[in-house]
Structure formats: C-alpha cells, structure tokens
Amino acid sequence: MYSILTRPWPAFLLRKTAELLLALAALTVITFAIVHLIPGDAARVVAGVDASPEQVEATRVRLGLDQPLLAQFWNYLAGLFTGDLGTSYRTGQPVADVIAARLPFTASIALFGIAVTLVVSLALGLAVAGLTRGNRNPWLDSAFGWTTGIVLALPVYVIGAVLIVVFAVNWRVLPAAGADSMASYVLPTVAIASGPIASMSRLVRREAAVVLEQDYMRTARGWRISTFRQFAKHAVPNLLASTLTLSGLILAGMIGGAIIIESVFAWPGLGRAVVESIIDRDYPLTRGVVLTVGAVAVALNIAIDIVLALVDPRTLRAGKALA
C-alpha cells in the first residue's frame, strides 16, 4: 500500500480527491449558513404579507424552520447524501428539478466563454509577444496594456450593458435578451469572456516574452524554422504549464460571472434562479444553486490541475513537495 501511495500519479490523485472532499465539505457548511444571513423571515414571505401570526407560525413549522439550527443542518446533510436538495418554498418543485432545468443554460454560456477565452487569449498573447519582441513596436505593447487594463477595470455587467446598447439597440444586429437562437449566445459569451481574455492574454504575453528569449527559441529562429512551427512546437508547450497554473482560478471565476451576466441578458439560467430565491427567501433553492455552482468551480479547478499534470509531469512531485 505504501509503495502505491509513493508513486506520482496515485499520490497525486489521492491528494486531489482529498482536496475535492474538503472543498465540498466546506461548501456544504457555507451554503447552509449563508441563507441564515439573508435578512427577513422566510416563513412570513412564504405565508404572504396578509397572513396572520398563527398562519406564519404554521408555515414555519411546515418548513421546518422552527427546529434548532443543528437539527436543520442534520436534515440538510441527510438530504444531500440521498440526492435530495429539498423543495422550493416558492414553487413547491424539487430543487434538483429546478437546477436540472436551468443548469444547461448557465453551463452553455460558461463553456462557450471558457473556450473563447482559451483560444483568443492564447492567440492574442502570443501575437503581441511576437510582434513586440526585442522592444519592437512599443506602441503596440502600450496599446495592449492600456486596452486590457480598461477591460479588466470594467465590471462584467457594465460590459454587458455596453454590448446591448451597441449591438442590440443601436445596430440591431444581435438580440438583447433571451435564449431563443444561437445569436442569443453571442453577447452573453462576449461579455463573460472579455475580462478573462484581458487577464489571460496579459499572462500569456508576459510568459511568451520570456520563452521567446530562451536559447532553444533563438536556435529555432537561426535554423529558419517557420514562425508557425516555432510557436506551435516550441513556444506553446512551454507556455501551457505556467498558463494553466493561473487559468484555473480565472476560468472558475467565469462560472460566477455567468450567474451575474444572466441578470443583464434575461438568461433563463441559475443566475436568475438564485436572485429570485434570495428575494423570496427560498432557502432550499438558494442553497442548491450555490452548492451546485461551487461544486462545478471546484471540479473545474481539479480538472485543470490534472491537465497540468499531464502536460508537465513535474507538477506531480511539485505538489507533493508543497504539501
């Protein structure tokens, strides 16, 4: 057993499994506690503003809100272990069904955003690094820095609002809201990917500038190897390890960005569901959505760590050394 655990991959996977379980345990506690910080009385909201004190108390008992917090937490845990996320106070639907109906919309723009971010940021960062190598085109380096800095300073909902005004209101070439066609995906995807593209392209540009000055890249240029082969065969593989290390946090944050942007574009995903649930004091739905989004973000980070280990096996030992 000891020999198996000292091998790189089994030890790495065991470590990542432990991290996943620890993160999920923390999420479970946080999602239970956070709803009790929402001001207001859920029983009063569910019973209605015209309900009598007796009706409010009966609603509190029916929802189990009269029980001690430890008993409520135990019931919450028991439901999670059986796959039961509870029942929505507002609609009476199982929370799992609400999430299953809305998750594909949130996942679609998040996945599109991640794909666009990876492709565009890698291409943009490499292009700027190549064109500004050796202090050439300083104006381009300055323009790149200013542009990406401005994009990073803008909140995602501001970017979404600007896109709606330009492309939906003024030019009328793309829909401003809804998810009725593939064209509806364009503006939300651009809005959610703009900030991460600016951040990751700056990272790629900085790392590429270092890689392009390495001896093996000078040798490749001396052998008159085509620029495409220089980047594809020598630069990109050496960039992936450092880029993937930080991209996990950036891409996981896009899940949260997807939830915010849904309110701007009236997207029928988890974002609108969690906003409505907070307003209605719908504790089970709030907990279910936050837990689902958090679990997806954690799983995405673990997946990126595994990809990084496949790309650069040195990280298998590095993670052990840091632990």
Q: Which two tokens stand for residue 38?
A: 């929402």
Find how far residue 302's CA is from the centre of its chain: 13
What is d(CA 63, CA 284) in angstroms, rounded to the nearest whole number?
A: 10
Neighbours of 279 (CB within 10 A): 12
Q: How far is CA 193 from the centre of its chain?
A: 11
Q: Compute the distance between CA of residue 29 and CA of residue 297 in angstroms, rounded to an integer.
A: 16
pLDDT of residue 318: 53
Question: Look-up: residue for tokens 């959505």?
Answer: 289
pLDDT of residue 152: 92
pLDDT recorded at residue 130: 87
User: What span, in angstroms and rounded, lies between the C-alpha atoms of 174 and 187?
Assistant: 8
Distance CA 322, CA 251 (A): 23
Give DSSP secondary structure letters for 151-202: HHHS-HHHHHHHHIIIIIIIS--S-SS-SSSGGGGHHHHHHHHHHHHHHHHH
Rounded to two decimals, the pTM is 0.80
Predicted local distance difference test score (pLDDT) of residue 77: 93
Quote the pLDDT of residue 319: 47
What type of residue sits at position 32?
F
Closest CA to 36 of 73, 78, 83, 75: 73
The pLDDT, as a whole number, for residue 197 is: 93
Amino acid type, 68: P
In three-state secondary structure terms, 235 is helix
Alpha carbon distance 106, 116 (integer Å): 16
State how far the alpha carbon of 284 is from the alpha carbons of 5, 147, 287, in Å: 40, 42, 5
pLDDT tens, per residue, the chain with 323 residues = 445 445 777 888 888 899 999 999 999 999 898 877 777 788 888 888 788 889 989 998 988 888 998 999 999 999 998 889 999 988 889 999 999 999 999 888 888 888 898 889 989 998 999 899 888 899 999 999 999 999 999 998 899 999 999 999 999 999 988 888 889 999 999 999 999 999 989 989 988 888 887 777 777 777 777 767 777 676 777 777 667 766 666 766 777 777 788 888 988 888 888 888 888 888 899 999 989 988 888 888 888 888 878 877 766 665 444 33
- pLDDT at position 13 is 86
